[in-house]
Chains A and B, each alone.
Chain A
Amino acid sequence: MLRASAVCEAAGIASSSLVAAGFIGQAKATRVGLGMPNLPWATLPGHPGVQTREQLRANVIETTLPEVIDNLTGVLADGAIVEGEPAMRDVVFTGGFDEVNQYFLDREWSDGLPIVPPTRERVEAFLRHTRRGADDVLGVLLPDNRAATVWSIAVNGVMAGCRPEYMPVLVALVEAMADPRYGVEHSGNTPGGETLIILNGPIIKELGFNYTQGVMRDGFQPNTSVGRFWRLYLRNVTGFLLHKNDKATYGNTWRVAIAENEDVVKAIGWQPNSVDMGFEPGDNTVTIARYTGGGMASSMSGSTPEELLPYLADGLVRQTFWQIVFTMGVGYGTLRPLALISPIIAETIAAAGWSKSDVKQFLFENARMPAWQFERLLRDWLCKPIWNLTEEAERGNIPREVFAASDDPDRMIPIVWAPEHFMLVVTGDPLRTSGYMFGHNGQLGFPVAKKIDS
């Protein structure tokens, strides 16, 4: 919202954003990052989602309208003064372990757990593990508009408890974060989805990542500290702080990084996730995407793909209710649901001669819901009284053959546009017959992969 207003202002067109009361803190922080500390907004009392038509109208007339007029015609107050900041390599505090930690907590530079004090010696040890220069900038990250420097990656890597040899992974992660397709600027949005990091390649074993039992649990240093690094970097460089730019309604703790079981993938003749993401087999890669939640399919039973895969299809549909707005409505064709499957499940499916593509095709044909339910979800979540898939297809917004092949409201339609929109990763306890399905956040955390340059 404010990004659109800032673009208009820069083009010489006066603006007024409409901001709900609960988002004023975010607006204050965001406008500073946009370089317009007095960018104005008009307040919407309460939240429009729970107001009757009459209440909304009264609130807009009594509160919002006068502020819009003031914003477009009045004299605007000066914005918050942007305080001077240290330079990139500055030592900001010298003291004992507890004192450093308190200093960082007081300035919101820590997540609440103790950090490893980022000293020059430690940071330089990290920098020796990358060919990049410390001053290299991998991107400029909204909302704070800060430079994603290699130096800042090393500093936050130290703080997170990473080892210096993880540095190539951290650099690749920030490259992915800075990729416009990912949409890092949305990381503070209402759903509070959390990024999942997926490792592929020989680097998994070289660095000791857990890729088997309990892969999503903290307890292995690379998985845990790399996951923590991600959130610290979002905090310190990107600028997502709770009660400011991070407006997650509930949020989650950062996820530990996971890794694929490439031994099993190779043994069954499937391609790893990295190849699905466009890389060569054997490449070291990181893949990121934001997920709104997930659920376990615990202890599935079956000896054939036809018996096992309905569990996954069912789980994927259950993780997709409001998220359907990324199939159409808010995003179009940007939903990328992810299923993790345990090695024994993958082995059983592959033993029947099924490829990964076959699995995705099955999910496309079976992870479905009735058209009437699809339309009801869109109506409910988009506050739009009429949603008609046939009309959407006629406007060319969605593929007719997928969503509007007939007018039968009971026809079953898929939750994604194409089989390849499902992501599949083999990981977890090798001998447990389980899976884990993630709901995806669409273009507000779209899957992006980068090669690890080690």
Chain B
Amino acid sequence: MSELSNEGNFAALWPRSPRQSVTKQLAPRHATLNGKVVAQVWDYLFRGDEMFETLEEGLRERFPDIRFVHWREFGNIHGSDERQVIAMLPERLKSAGVDAVITAVAA
């Protein structure tokens, strides 16, 4: 690395801007998924439907009393109406009695 020139003298300001988010707590985790309702929420991309099928099978083996709400119930979370779909998720999940959610696919 070449030596830096000290030409000029500048008091440079911070180019970023304050974050507006405050650190939030996550929801409580469950002791078991037996008896719980798990929702599948999908962006309709990258074979999430296959992943949910496999996950559902694996979770049922481990937690026989688990129940699922299919991804078709919630719509595409990455479509033209993404903001509305995501904004309505809590209400729709609660009305479906959902205890936990799996969201897919970041790829």
- Grouping DSSP codes into helix (H, G, I), strand (E, B) and loop, the B interface class, with mixed when no group exceeds half, is loop
Docked-complex contact A56 and B47, CB < 8 angstroms = yes
Give complex CA distance A85, B78 in Å.
Answer: 32
A113 at the interface (CB under 8 A from B): no
A431 at the interface (CB under 8 A from B): no
A254 at the interface (CB under 8 A from B): no
With an 8 Å Cβ cutoff, the count of chain B residues facing the other chain is 67
Give complex CA distance A14, B87 in Å.
Answer: 17
Near A by CB (< 8 A), chain B positions 18-41 give: 18-24, 26-33, 38, 41
Q: Chain B contacts of A237 at CB under 8 A?
A: 16-17
Interchain CB contact (< 8 A) of B23 among A23, A36, A96: A36
Docked-complex contact B15 and A155, CB < 8 angstroms = yes
Give complex CA distance A38, B44 in Å.
Answer: 25
**Minimal beta-carbon separation of A132 from chain B (angstroms):** 15
Please report A residues at the B interface, Cβ cutoff 8 Å. Answer: 1-5, 7-20, 22-23, 26-27, 33-41, 44, 47-49, 53, 56-57, 60-61, 64-65, 68-69, 71-76, 82, 85-100, 102-104, 109, 117-120, 123, 140, 144-149, 151-152, 155-156, 159, 180, 183, 232, 236-237, 329-334, 382-383, 442-443
Docked-complex contact B106 and A2, CB < 8 angstroms = yes
**Minimal beta-carbon separation of A17 from chain B (angstroms):** 5
Docked-complex contact B76 and A65, CB < 8 angstroms = no
Assuming A88-B17, A159-B15, what are 16 further A-B pairs, CB within 8 angstroms?
A1-B105, A11-B89, A11-B90, A11-B94, A12-B28, A19-B105, A40-B26, A57-B50, A65-B55, A69-B33, A86-B16, A95-B10, A96-B8, A100-B12, A120-B13, A155-B13
Docked-complex contact A48 and B17, CB < 8 angstroms = no
Would you give the 0/1 interface string for B65-107, flagging 1 where the beta carbon is closer than 8 Å to chain A?
0000000000011111011001101100110001111111111
The chain B residue with its CB closest to the CB of A33 is: B21
Docked-complex contact B13 and A123, CB < 8 angstroms = yes
The chain A residue with its CB closest to the CB of B37 is: A13
Pairs across A and B, CB under 8 Å, 16 listed: A8-B93, A11-B90, A13-B90, A13-B99, A13-B101, A20-B106, A23-B107, A40-B26, A57-B50, A75-B29, A85-B16, A92-B14, A95-B6, A98-B4, A102-B4, A236-B15
